[in-house]
Amino acid sequence: MRIFSRKILREFWKKHPDAQNPLQTWYLDVKHANWEKSSDIKVVYQTASFLKNNRIIFNIKGNTYRIVIVVHYKNGDVFIRFVGTHSEYDRIDANKI
């Protein structure tokens, strides 16, 4: 998969150093994945939540952090729309970001 907006991950782990390893692991997993449909994601990430318009929420570091992405399966593109703490996530509308 091609991941866009990796910079947002680096900026986040500068503020939250304990997130660096989990975010790097997530990034490498996704980069080497070949998702063609949502069930491909669910095999590896059982706790992922799926929203409308191909938006997916991942729990990072035991649900301490969250990532919201948009996937374009046909092109193999992943767009990071949000990365934040669980409490920051609670203040956004994941369907609109």
CATH code (residue 58): 3.30.2310.20
Whether 29 is in a domain gets the answer yes
Whether 48 is in a domain gets the answer yes
Tell me the pTM: 0.93
3-state secondary structure of 61: coil
Within the chain, residue ranges assigned H as helices are 6-15, 20-31, 38-44, 86-89
- The number of folded domains in the chain is 1
Whether 97 is in a domain gets the answer no
Whether 28 is in a domain gets the answer yes
Count the helix, strand and coil residues of the chain and give each as a percent rounded to the nearest 5.
Answer: 35, 30, 35
How high does pLDDT run on average in the chain?
95
Q: Which domain holds residue 45?
A: 2-86
Q: Which of 57, 63, 58, 62 is nearest to 87 (CA)?
A: 63
* 21-58 residue pLDDT tens: 999 999 999 999 999 999 999 999 999 999 999 999 99
Per-residue pLDDT band for 5 (boundaries 50, 70, 90) equals confident
